[in-house]
Structure 1
Amino acid sequence: MAGALNTIKVLDLSRVLAGPYCTMILGDLGAEVIKVEAPNGSDETRGWGPPFKNDVSAYYLTANRNKKSITLDLKTEEGVEVVKKLVRESDVVIHNFKTGTMERFGLGYDTLYELNPRIVYCSITGFGETGPSRDMPGYDFIIQAMSGLMSITGTKESGPQKSGVAITDVLTGLYACIGIQAALLERVQSGIGQKLDIALYDTAVSALVNIGSNYLMSEAIPTALGNEHANIVPYQTFRTFDGEMVIAVGNDNQFKALCHVLGESEIAMDDRFKRNRERVKFRAELIPKLQEVFVTKSTAYWQEKCRENNIPSGPIQNLEEVVNDEQLQSRNMFITHDHPTAGSIKMIGSPLKFSRTPVEIKLHPPNPGEHQEEIMDRIGMNKTTN
């Protein structure tokens, strides 16, 4: 069955994570994605590891399935000419070169628009193509630091901490994917494409959500709360007899139910704790009372009691436990696919579940230039171009 985007052709000049993550989603949805790299493969993630399997990087595999691969030298006229030919038959061009690089190649938006006015052109950079920082290189770690995300992650004891994954790259890839699809929908009405200027820095700041809003309203600089929530209490981890778990009480009725489960119903009647706004204010007095009870029983015990009483909770799972989780297994969130070099590989599946046009994993993450001959034949340049 054809995917939801099966008529869309994407020319992917991006590398590392944000751009490739975006184009992988488009490929999962059925778009034809042609990944363009320099000769021998220039996506840095091909060399990031370990782990490797038959010299294929696990990092590269994470964001490059459902793509075809060609290699081109964009510093040559021939390489640029191939891109221009591909642009004429494409719907989307995406890149994450530094600001001005595509223009130096002779592949800026204005040039490509002349070749194909319907093209949706997506630029992903660290700081965007305008403003005083536009020429600065943008790496996820740096963006997490500058955006304020690190200042609110961790504890007072640990100091600022980054997320365990390159979260601003992932979010930027998602924003780019949303923006591209919106531009394609608008093109149906206008008949012409447009340029998207997506910045990691902008994306990271947008991810501050309630913490950013709290500051804009109060001008009180937020501090790192570790596993606690700035606006909701109790909404954090608790130590149990044999481990740790998360309690996420979202309203006052749930708090009452939690106190009942803990055998501490009188806490719910205390004027300091009846309503969430008071619980936030008197957090330091409340949490130790709850912690004293949680530590007396096992995680499994509290999990069962919380589920019986509709109290949001969950165990803190490691990756082995996650991969073996029956819920995720039932949702096909871990898949196996054959790769010509690595052999049988395991990948994280797609969270997108469609009733009529389901996601399909048709193509393995390609080796450099794996589809060179096929693509060159299609555009009438069957001489291999490196």
Structure 2
Amino acid sequence: MTARTSPLSGVRVVDLSRVLAGPWCTQNLADLGADVIKVERPGIGDDTRGWGPPYLKNADGSETSEAAYYLSCNRNKRSIEIDLSTQEGADVVRKLVLISDVLVENYKVGGLKKYGLDYDSLKKINPRLIYCSLTGFGQFGPYSQRPGYDFAIQGMGGLMSITGERDDLPGGGPQKAGIAVTDIVAGMYASVAVLGALVERQRSGLGQHLDIALLDSHVAMLSNQNSNFFTSGKAPRRAGNAHQNVVPYQTFSASDGHLIVAVGNDSQFRAYATVLGVPELGTDPRFATNSARIINRIELIERLTSIMKARSRDEWLSDLEAVGVPCGPINDISQVFEDPQVKVRGLRHEIAHPLGVMAPTTASPLRFSETPVQYRMAPPVLGEHTCEVLRDLLQMDDAEIERVRASADAVGK
């Protein structure tokens, strides 16, 4: 039998993106086996290379120049230093496009046109090119020229109106998510769009332009909250750690900490009430159904809160798990990676870094039974593969390579 290769083996991606949304997309493609060539500004590279501390540490504990933020989204890629503003640099990208399948960029709308690297220009030399643009607000509309920042879009896109404690409680008010969730979601949508375009190209033989906006992705991500608004006409508000549509589905204080109880149906609620020692709540008409529990939420939660404080977190978790009530602890990130399930799933991985140390990375959650994700390369140092790509892929001789590198060096100084 012929050995099966990675899902995107043979696909080449030119990555002109930086920071998070674009690199998250291209890391997904790289994890699936694509050859991703990260084109970076001479001497500076991706902005996130400087977003530290923390930085990757040497064996003696001293810091390298590789920021942890950059390391989070750039594995399995090759890095080349190219100055797009020069004729030599733009020509290198065009030559790469001729032999590539996908280009991902997150420049401002129209920003690459002056270099002849916009979609309309590049599709003339490679009609099969899938060109993915990631911007804050998309390629058209009144905001299309605005820069897009995750934090601002979390606010304007509605997430912060439903995230955080209720306004009438201590600590209430707008709260952003703990990660740049808009960037991550946009990167995931972009990954899906690229995969879909690759499949469609098998039928049509042609590429296309993918217009992925952070705001669009963010609004789409609100899912059931949008639907709640559409059907009720009322904008959902912040509910802290409670669920808008399911009760009880929130955090509770135990005698020594906090835990999550996520009752998903009426039979689970009856089991939960029995564990709490108040089985009558499971048949009480005010609480027997989820709809009734939503209507009588305040009264129910007051009773449950009082009972939950009587025992320790782990005692509740043990008893609730035994009867099939969904629940869990609230871990910090160090505790996450000590969790036995996280360990057995191998969610912390290490890759040999060219600086001579092991670079930790979070494993891809994409699991394939026959063609698993391969951790081929640590996130590259700036320009690590410039000569390799120019010589092996573009067949440049030493003199041509030196001209390109000299052009890049002049800009990087």
Give your verdict on TM over 0.5.
Answer: yes
C-alpha distance after superposition, 1:38-79 (max 9, x if no partner):
102331100001101312100000000000010111111111
Contact 1:92 1:122 (8 Å CA) reproduced: yes
Contact conserved, 1:10 with 1:93, CA < 8 A, in 2?
Answer: yes
Aligned to 1:222: 236
2:20 maps to 1:20? no
On the 8 A contact 1:26/1:177 being kept in 2, the answer is yes
2: distance between equivalents of 1:275 and 1:342?
Answer: 59
- Residue ranges of structure 2 left out of the alignment (5+ in a row): 57-63, 409-413
TM superposition score normalised by structure 1: 0.98
User: What is the alpha-carbon root mean square deviation over aligned residues?
Assistant: 1.0
Deviation of 1:278 after TM superposition, in Å, equals 1.1
Structural mapping, 1:171-182, within 5 Å: 171-182=185-196
| Residues in 1 aligned to 2:359 and 2:38: alpha-carbon distance in whole angstroms | 20
Residues 145-166 of structure 1: CA distance to partner in whole angstroms, max 9, x if unpaired? 0000011100114310000000
**Distance in 1 between residues matched to 2:76 and 2:231, nearest whole Å:** 44
**Aligned-partner Cα distance in 2 for 1:187–1:345:** 36
The answer to whether the 8 A contact 2:352-2:377 is kept is no
Amino acid at match of 1:2: T
Mapped partners of 2:345, 2:207: distance in 1 = 36
Which of 7, 14, 18 is 2:10 aligned to?
Answer: 7
Aligned ranges for residues 50-129 of structure 1 at < 5 Å?
50-53=53-56, 54-129=64-139
Question: What do residues 262-317 of structure 1 show as CA deviations (whole Å, max 9, x unaligned)?
Answer: 01111112211111111111110000111111111111111111111000000001
Partner residue in 1 for 2:396: 381
Residue in 2 that maps onto 1:43: 46
Native 8 Å contact 1:36 1:71 kept in 2: yes
For residues 174-229 of structure 1, the C-alpha deviation after alignment (integer angstroms, 9 at most, x for no partner) is 00000000000000000101110000000000011111111111111221001000
SS in 2 for 1:226: coil
CA distance in 2 between partners of 1:49 and 1:267 (Å): 52
Give the conservation status (yes or no) of the 8 Å contact 1:55–1:342.
no
State the partner residue of 1:277.
Answer: 291
Distance 1:333 1:31 in 2: 21
**Percent of aligned positions that are identical:** 47
How far apart, in 1, do the equivalents of 2:17 and 2:190 lie?
12
* SS of residue paired to 1:297: coil
1:299 to 313, 322, 344: 313
How far residue 320 of structure 1 moved from its aligned partner, in angstroms, is: 1.3
| Alignment partners' CA distance in 2, 1:356 and 1:221 | 45
- C-alpha separation in 2, matches of 1:201 and 1:375: 35
Q: Which moved more, 1:357-366 or 1:340-349?
A: 340-349
Does 1:250 pair with 2:264?
yes
Paired position in structure 1 for 2:164: 154
Is 1:143–2:149 an aligned residue pair?
no
- Equivalence for 1:29: 32
Q: Secondary structure of the equivalent of 1:341?
A: coil
TM-score of the superposition, structure 2-length normalised? 0.92
Q: Select the residue among 139, 144, 147 that pairs with 1:134.
A: 144
Runs of at least 4 residues off by over 2 Å: none
- Secondary structure of the corresponding residue to residue 80 of structure 2: strand
- 1:56·1:342 contact (CA, 8 Å) conserved in 2? no
Aligned to 2:351: 337
Give how far 1:341 is off.
2.6
For the 8 Å contact 1:27–1:66, the answer to whether it is kept is yes
The Cα of 1:336 is off from its aligned counterpart by: 1.2
